[in-house]
Amino acid sequence: MPHFTKPEAGSWTENYPELGTSPVNYEDSIDPAYYEAEKEAIFKKTWLNVGRVEQVPKVGSYFTKELAVADTSLVIVRGKDKEIRAFHNVCRHRGNKLVWNDFPGEEVKGTCRQFTCKYHAWRYSLDGDLTFVQQEKEFFDLDKADYGLKLVRCEVWEGFVFVNLDPEAQPLKEYLGEFAKGLEGYPFHEMTEVFTYKAEIGSNWKLFIDAFAEFYHAPVLHMKQAVKDEADKLFNVGYEALHYEIHSPHSMISSWGGMSPPKDLTIVKPIERVLRSGLFGPWEAPDIEGLENLPTGLNPGRHRAWGNDSFEFFPNMTLLIWKPGWYLTYHYWPTAVDKHIFEANLYFVPAKTARERLKQELAAVTFKEYALQDGNTLEATQTMLKSRVVTEFPLCDQELLLRHLHKTVADYVKEHTDAAQ
Amino acid sequence: MLPSEFAALEPFNAWVLESERDRYSKRLASSMEEMQTFYDAAFPLLEQASDHLDKFPLSELPEQERNLLLLMFSLVNVSFPVEVWKQARVPDSGAAYMDLVVEPKV
Ligand code: FES
Ligand SMILES: [Fe+2]
């Protein structure tokens, strides 16, 4: 017996007939040629979130973003006119990487007035113009105006900075569509205190999205995180979402939030009882504007038990908003068919007191304990997929978003290969 | 090193650590017995420590108070091994690691 009503079609999955219900083939996560196709068809074509406006607070603030999956590195910078721009991080003289510190592969951030290349000291303004050439007279008819940094499309939605390597791409807001529209007005700008986690994971990027786009695994893999009786109960009940929605290529899952605060305090760990915080974040909402009347895109099922909504913005951004007023983003940056960098950011309203800060610390520490279990499990999955002993996997109704992700990837890849022929 | 009301925690000064990376490393390098002893001393004082610290604005904590907060961060970090895992590492996490590369300043 389902605990929450399913759509008239009978299941969430059948509500989207184009997805089918048959087992799913995971060749897309192990085939190196497929990975190459994804780079071209997806990562060089779609809008990618690379950070937030708070990372470039003033004129000259910059950070770099390594995009192995698009074979490039970008520098994102706030110009003299306060505009945020993105450039390929490559010097026009001989192709040196322009902005980096000791290790060319590591991302950096800082503030500067101009960019100077380490190799022969060519300089570029914050707007990307070439302003200085060492021994300019030695060159042949060199017009500096022809050698500015290569600009990349860069647009901002609700403080999230996105880039797109395709100059022909549709505008960001149009791409993000209904889900983004439904979230406008959420006080993201108040939640500027951030914990950033990074890990290298030995699995295909889609497998980690799979792990965060369904909560069916939570009572099992993360069972030991709850006290014994509660774990048993959760295991027996299993997991059901309140609501699923797809606006291709994006999707979302809406979930209950029964643990914040829990009805029965004995079901949570002693430290959670004292600090009134845990995996679901601090139990009480911070005192800011904008949490009373939430934007219409949140809690689309209008459930009383609502706890969080998790949006999958295609291809590689998860945005998870918790009812008590904080949010997370996950990014999955592929580096090879069987490897990616996972990045998680936890955003809170800045703590004013030590107690508030301790609550956030507990939420952050708890997040890490879970994510480590997920990350490690994925490596086990990747190796066995690679054996190709089993190639077809049945996905249940709670795994709808995975089914949609793999199909969307396939559609993008197919469209791209068809167009090339 | 700590406010006088919390003198009982002075033997655990080694848990006053600047970053999550340091706290987590110390957790991995500690025995369950060491963590349990620290937990047994610090946990009963968590509420009192929060009350005490809340008398100061977070951005202007005096040094001893700041040490106390850092110590309590370590308590939070060992709470998982002590309260649930019964081991320093996260079960089923194998060789996986996760680095906290940005954390709020205190
Ligand atoms: S490569 Fe940059 S100045 Fe020569
Ligand atoms: Fe998980």
Q: What is the largest CA-CA distance in chain A?
A: 80
Average pLDDT over residues B5-31: 97
pLDDT given for residue A410 in this prediction: 98
- Element of type H or E holding A414: helix A400-420
pLDDT given for residue A75 in this prediction: 98
Q: Report DSSP state, residue B32.
A: H
Express each pLDDT in B23-56 by its tens digit. 999 999 999 999 999 999 999 999 999 999 999 9
Distance CA B105, CA A357 (A): 10
- For residue B58, the chain A residue with the least C-alpha distance is A353
| Strand arrangement, sheet containing A123-125 | A114-116, A123-125, A130-132
Q: Are strands A151-157 and A130-132 parallel, antiparallel or unpaired?
A: unpaired
Mutate to test the interface with B, among A361, A370, A382 (most CBs of B within 10 A): A361
User: How far apart are the CA of B8 and the centre of ligand 2, in A?
Assistant: 38
Count of A–B CB contacts within 8 Å? 119
Q: Determine, for residues B101 and A197 on separate chains, whether the beta-carbon distance falls below 8 Å.
A: yes
B49, B72, B84 member nearest A225 (Cβ) = B84
Q: Determine, for residues B46 and A373 on separate chains, whether the beta-carbon distance falls below 8 Å.
A: no
Which distant-in-sequence residues (6+ apart) come within 8 Å of A95 by Cβ? none
Per-residue pLDDT of chain A (421 residues; tens, 9 = 90+): 567 889 999 999 999 999 999 999 999 999 999 999 999 999 999 999 999 999 999 999 999 999 999 999 999 999 999 999 999 999 999 999 999 999 999 999 999 999 999 999 999 999 999 999 999 999 999 999 999 999 999 999 999 999 999 999 999 999 999 999 999 999 999 999 999 999 999 999 999 999 999 999 988 888 877 777 778 887 888 889 999 999 999 999 999 886 677 878 888 899 999 999 999 999 999 999 999 999 999 999 999 889 999 999 999 999 999 999 999 999 999 999 999 999 999 999 999 999 999 999 999 999 999 999 998 899 999 999 999 999 999 999 999 999 999 999 999 999 999 998 8
User: Does ligand 1 have an atom closer than 6 angstroms to the CB of A94?
Assistant: yes
* Structure confidence at residue B93 as a pLDDT band (50, 70, 90): confident
- For residue B45, the chain A residue with the least C-alpha distance is A274
Q: Report DSSP state, residue A382.
A: H
Distance CA A88, CA A73 (A): 6
Interface ipTM above 0.85: yes
pLDDT given for residue A419 in this prediction: 92
Q: Report DSSP state, residue B106.
A: -
Count of other CB atoms within 10 angstroms of residue A93 = 18
User: Does ligand 1 have an atom closer than 6 angstroms to the CB of A401?
Assistant: no
Please report residues of A whose CB lies closer than 8 A to that of B25.
none
pLDDT given for residue A223 in this prediction: 80
pLDDT given for residue B76 in this prediction: 98
Helices (H), A325-353: none
In this structure, the residue with its CA closest to atom 4 of ligand 1 is A120
**B33 at A interface, C-beta within 8 A:** no
Q: Determine, for residues B83 and A361 on separate chains, whether the beta-carbon distance falls below 8 Å.
A: no
Distance CA A141, CA B18 (A): 55
Site to probe by mutation for ligand 1, drawn from A94, A99, A131 as the one with most ligand atoms within 8 Å of Cβ, is: A94
Q: Report DSSP state, residue A148.
A: P
A82 CA: distance to closest CA in chain B (Å): 25
Contact indicator for A76, A56 with CB cutoff of 8 Å: yes
Please report residues of B whose CB lies closer than 8 A to that of A208.
none
pLDDT given for residue A347 in this prediction: 98
Which distant-in-sequence residues (6+ apart) come within 8 Å of A157 by Cβ? A172, A173, A176, A180
**B57 at A interface, C-beta within 8 A:** yes
User: Does ligand 1 have an atom closer than 6 angstroms to the CB of A96?
Assistant: yes
Q: Determine, for residues A356 and B58 on separate chains, whether the beta-carbon distance falls below 8 Å.
A: yes
pLDDT given for residue A407 in this prediction: 98
User: Does ligand 1 have an atom closer than 6 angstroms to the CB of A119?
Assistant: yes
pLDDT given for residue A2 in this prediction: 67
Please report residues of A whose CB lies closer than 8 A to that of B77.
365
B56, B61, B84 member nearest A269 (Cβ) = B84
Q: Give φ, ψ of A33 to 5 degrees.
A: -65, -35
Q: Determine, for residues B56 and A275 on separate chains, whether the beta-carbon distance falls below 8 Å.
A: no
Strand partners, B73: none
pLDDT given for residue A59 in this prediction: 98
User: Does ligand 1 have an atom closer than 6 angstroms to the CB of A117?
Assistant: yes
Mutate to test the interface with A, among B53, B77, B79 (most CBs of A within 10 A): B79
